[in-house]
Structure 1
Amino acid sequence: MTHARAARSLVAATAAALVVGLMAAPTAASPADDRMERAVAAGMRAPALGADATVHVRDVGSDATVADDGGDERQVPASTMKVVTAATSLVTLGAEHRFATRVVEGASSGRIVLVGGGDPLLTRADVADLAARTARKLRQAGVTSVVVDIDDYLFPQPTDAQGWAPGDRPTYAAAVRPLGFVGDYSNDTVLTAWTSFVQGVRARGVNARAGSRVLADADARRITVIRPHSLREAVELMLRVSENNVAEVLFRQVALARGYPATWSSASSAAQEALRDLGVASWPLRLVDGSGLSGRNRLTATALTELLDVALGDARLDALIDGLPVAGRTGTLINRFASPPASCARGKVAAKTGSLTGVSTLAGVTQGRDGRWRSFAILVNHRPAAYPTSSTSLAIDSVAAVVQGCA
C-alpha cells in the first residue's frame, strides 16, 4: 500500500539507528538527565498545559525514569490509545497477518455469499478484483445468473462504545463492521461494499442481484478469496493518520484471535491480556475502545513510555515504530513543531498525537543530542479554555523538544 509506506524511510532510519544506540548504551542514565528533568518540569509549567498535565520520560537503554510528574495518574489518552491497539494487534496476530475476504457457495443453487473478514484496509479496487475473480469462476462453471447474499456476522451488530459522544458516529468513526471500505464513514459500510461487489459481478457478464444477510455454512465451498492487505500496513496507516475505523476493527480482531467474542468488553479483556504478554502492566488501565475516541479510556504516561520502550526492543512491534508520525514531516505531525522552541526537533521526534475536547496528548520516542534514546508521554486532560488548542500543542511539542535535547 504505497501511501502507507511513503514516509517510512525516515522512521526506519531512526529505528535502525536505535539498534546501534542500544547496543552501545550504558546501564545508567546520563548526567545530562538531571538537567533534562529540570527542563521538562519547567516546560510542564506552561500555562497552556493547565495544572493537571502529566508527563513521563524514560531512558530506553537503562529503563530509568528521566522525568516524571504524575506519570502514574490515569488520564484520558485520546488517540495515543492507538499505540496500545498497534502493540496488542501486532503481538497477537503478527505483522504479516493478512485479512481474507471470501466468496463461498450459498445454501442453495444460484446463490453465493460474500463473507466479510474484517479487512480494515479494503478498497473499491480490492472489491472490484474480487468481483472479477468471482464472475470468471461463475462463467467457467456455466453460471449466468446469481443472487449475492452477505455474511457480516464476524463482529456483533454495531453499537457505540461507552463514552463516545453524540455525533461521533459517523463523523469520526463508522459502525464497526467486518466489511467496508477504508475511509468509509457511512452509516452502513457493509451495504456500500456489498452493492459495489454486486455491480462488479454484473459488469463482468453475470446477472447478479443482492440477496439477504445470512450466516455462511462453515464448510461452504470457497469460490475465491483475496488477501490484499497486511496487519503491518493497517498499523502504519492507523498511526500515521490516526484512522479510527482501522483501530476499531483491529480492536475486535485481537479479541477473535485470542478466543474472545468481538464485543467491546471482550475486546478490552483481550487487549489487556496482550499487554500482559508484552510485560506491560494492564492495571489500572481502562481500555474501552481501540481508537481512543471514548472519553472513558484511561492510560498513564508511565504505561505509554513502558510500551514504547518495549516496542523499540521487540522486532514483532517494528511496525509500531515505523508508523509513528515524524515531527514536522509526516502524518498528524506534519504541521506540528513549526515554531520555536519546538521547531528544532523537526524530523527528530516520532510520536502519536491525541486530541479530544479538552484533551491533548503526545507519546513517542526520540534520540537525544547526547545519543541516548528516550520514550516520553505527555497527557493534558483539562486544557485551559483561555488557550487555543494550537498553544497547548506548541507547549507539548516544546517539552518533546526538551526530551530530544535541542531546546
Structure 2
Amino acid sequence: MLKQQLRAISSLLTSITLIGICTGMTSTLLSLRATIENFGTLTTGIIMSAYFIGFLFGTTRAPKDIRRVGYIRAFGGLAALAAASILIQAIWIDPIVWFVMRFLTGFAISAIFVIVESWLNTMADNKNRGTLLSVYLVLIYGGLVAGQLILGITDPAGFIAFALVALLINLSLIPILVSVTVEPTSHEPRKVAIRSLLKLVPLGMVNAFIMQACYAMFYGIGPMYATYIGLSVAQVSLFMAAFILGGMLAQAPIGLLSDRIDRRIVMAFCAGSAAIMAFVLSQLDANVAWLIYLCVGLFGACALPLYSLGMAHTNDFLEKDQMVGATGAIIKVGGIGSIIGAPSVAALMQFGAVNYFFLLITVLTSIVCGYSLYRVTQRPKAGDQSHSAYAMLAPTQTSDELLTTLASEQEMLDEEYQEAQLDADPENDQRPSGGAST
C-alpha cells in the first residue's frame, strides 16, 4: 500500500524536492548578497525576518486557496509568486524592496508547504503517515543540501544565481502539471482553531512550537556559535551539513518505527536523545572537531524527525476535512516559535552567554520528552483510520470524456433504481394470477 501511495504522489514529491533546493539556496544567497551590497547587519537581519512574517500569513491563506481552486492550482499560483519575488530582488537592489519581496517569498513557500503536507496527510492513514511524512522531509533536507552545493558554484554578486532559483521554482510546476497526478477528493476543509488543537492534541502544538524554535536557533545562530568555539569556515560548513545529513538519514527509519508503535513513545525517545546530544555538544570545543561532527549528526538525527512525528501524531486524531486547516495551524504555531527562538538565543549570546546556546536547546528538547511521556498516561494510542478516496486526474482526459463517463454511470444507476422499484411494486408483479408460490 505504501509503495502504491509513493508512486501515486511521485510527481508531487519531485516538485517539493525542487522547492527544497530553492529554499536552501535563497537564504544563503540573500545573506551573501546583502553583505556585498553593504546593507549592514541590522538591516540584513530585518530583511531576513520578513520571511517568517510572510510565513505566518501564508499558513492562513493556503487553506482558503485549497478550498477555492484545489491543491494543484493553488500550488501553481504560489510557485509563480515565489519565482517572481526572487527575480525582483535581483533587479532592484534596495532594502525596502527586498523586505517586501522576502515577505512574499515566505508567504508563498509556507503556503506551498501547507498544501503539500495537508495533501500528504489526507492521502495517508495512521498505519503509514509517519513513514510518508518522513520520506517528504528526507527530500526536503536533501534539497537543502543540494541547494548549498549549487550555490557554491555560482556568483552571489551576479544575476545568474537569482535566475537559477526562479528557474528551479518554475520547473517544480512541471511534474504535477504534465503527469498523472493523484489528488485527494474534495472534502470541504473545516477551519481548525489553534485553541481547538491545543485541547484536542496538545502534544502536537507544544512539539511544533518548541522544535521549530530549536531549528531556528540552530540554523540562524549555529554558524555563529561554531565560529565562536574555534571552527574555521570550512569546518562550520561541515558542522551544518552534519546536522542536516543526520536528520535526513534518520527520517525514514524513525517514521517507519512510529507507524508500528505509539508515536508519543518515539517522540519521547528522540527528544530525550536530542537533549543528551545537545548537552554533550555544549561541553565540546574545536580541539575535538571530529567528535563535534559526530555529535551534531546524532543531534540532527534525533531532533529533525520530531517535526514530522508531531505532525503525524496530530493528524492521527483528526478527520479528513480537518487536516488542511490543522496543517496551517501547526505551521503557524511553528512559525511563531521560529520568530521567538532565534532572537532569544541571539540575545543571550549578545550579553556574553554563548555557552548557553546548546544548554537552552537541551532544556527545550527535555520539555518535549517529558511532555510526550506525560501524554502517554493521559490518553490511549490513536486507532487506525481507513484511507480516503482519491481521484485520478489524468491530464489527457478531456472535460467531454469526463462528462460522458459520469453520464453513463448515472444511466446505469437510474436503470438499477427502476428495476428495484418494479420488484417492490405488487401491481407490477408479472407472476400468473393463480399460481401460488411454492
Q: What is the TM-score normalised by the length of structure 1?
A: 0.23
Structure showing greater radius of gyration is 2
- Of Structure 1 and Structure 2, the greater helix share is in 2
TM-score, normalisation: structure 2: 0.22
Return the structure number with greater strand share. Answer: 1
